[in-house]
Amino acid sequence: MQQRFCSCGAGVWVRYFFANAFWLAFFYRGDGGDISTTVCPKCGRALDIEHLR
């Protein structure tokens, strides 16, 4: 897993999976839970791997 950051500064963890010839990115809040999320836990913005630092 890699840690990336939303534009608001919140850290999220990214886990990559290779499936059917495509890479998929799943986002996790990083609070120890193993539940994926689609929005930033701080600002609520939709997470997109291309826009994370």
Kindly report, residue by residue over 25-46, the tens digit of the pLDDT: 999 987 767 789 999 999 999 9
The string of DSSP letters for 1-53 reads: -EEEE-TTS-EEEEEEEEETTEEEEEEE-SSS---EESB-TTT-PBP-GGG--
Tell me the CA end-to-end span of the chain in Å, nearest whole number. 14
Per-domain residue ranges for the chain? Answer: 2-51
pTM, two decimals, is: 0.81
Kindly report, residue by residue over 15-28, the tens digit of the pLDDT: 999 999 999 999 99
29's tokens: 């809040």
Asked whether the beta carbons of 45 and 38 are under 8 A apart, the reply is no
